[in-house]
Amino acid sequence: MAIETDGSSGRRRRPGGLTPGQARRESAKARRQRTEEILARLRREYPKAHTALDHRNAFQLLVATILSAQCTDKRVNEVTPALFRRFPTPRELAAANLTELEELVRTTGFFRNKARALLGLGQALMAEHGGKVPADMEQLRRLPGVGRKTANVVLGSAFGQNVGVVVDTHVQRLARRLGLTTETDPEKIERDLMALVPQPDWTVWSHLLIAHGRQVCQARRPLCASCVVADLCPSAES
Ligand code: SF4
């Protein structure tokens, strides 16, 4: 079999699997079946996949997810124990001193914006939601610092609701490499994935892609030779 090359990088494609041309031409039904097979294999590979952000409730997960923008989960997990000790509920957060809050979240980057968002979040939760995190996409999105991705994280991992698919940098990269989308905009990628992945699996799907992206399908050097879905991936390299 002729070995195709990736036009942009010149890397050698792994022979025997799905070619980019086949992936482009596959029917919606075939792509859904391929997606379900990818899901099944990744489930076996990462049976404990879950959010890497330490939290005990929806409020803590919401705060940690806001802090995780442009920051590693590891760094966020270093910061949140002291933050949650000092501000255990929206009530304490709503009354926070902004300078103290900035100091506590400084190492997560963009700390002034994040501290302001957290203060606003505490105040909005107290003023509009009785100090509780709403389990509703539209209400979540109206909170300071909360976009669709953050709302999806909280709805999926704190409330067990599959309202959307979390599209972070790993999910974006893997969805494109796996030929499940050609989009670059996260909301369009999410729409493509929602059409392919069964709804009950939307939350776990993101956890699995993130785990695979961290351990195998890394940004700079995907470890295709060790990948359990290589034969289903049009980007597999030899
Ligand atoms: S590691 Fe390689 S084969 Fe596996 S999903 Fe990533 S690009 Fe595809």
Q: Give me the number of domains the chain comprises.
A: 2
Distance 108 CA to ligand 1 centre (A): 30
Q: Which residues contact 128 (CB under 8 A, 6 or more apart)?
A: none
1 assigned to some structural domain: no
Give the model confidence (pLDDT) of 86-114 as tens digits: 999 999 999 999 999 999 999 999 999 99
Q: What is the pTM of this model?
A: 0.88
Q: What residues are labeled active site?
A: 149, 168
Does residue 236 line the site of ligand 1, with CB under 6 A?
Answer: yes
Does residue 165 line the site of ligand 1, with CB under 6 A?
Answer: no
Atom of ligand 1 nearest to the CA of 227: 4
Give the model confidence (pLDDT) of 24-40 as tens digits: 999 999 999 999 999 99
Q: How far is CA 41 from CA 22, 47, 128, 178, 228, in A?
A: 21, 10, 43, 14, 7
Question: Of 157, 192, 207, which one is at a domain's C-terminal end?
Answer: 157
Residues paired with 237 in a beta bridge: 13
Domain containing 187 equals: 20-49+165-232
148 assigned to some structural domain: yes
Question: Of 119, 135, 157, which one is at a domain's C-terminal end?
Answer: 157
71 assigned to some structural domain: yes
What's 137's domain CATH number? 1.10.340.30
- Whether residues 93 and 26 share a domain: the answer is no
- Whether residues 136 and 187 share a domain: the answer is no
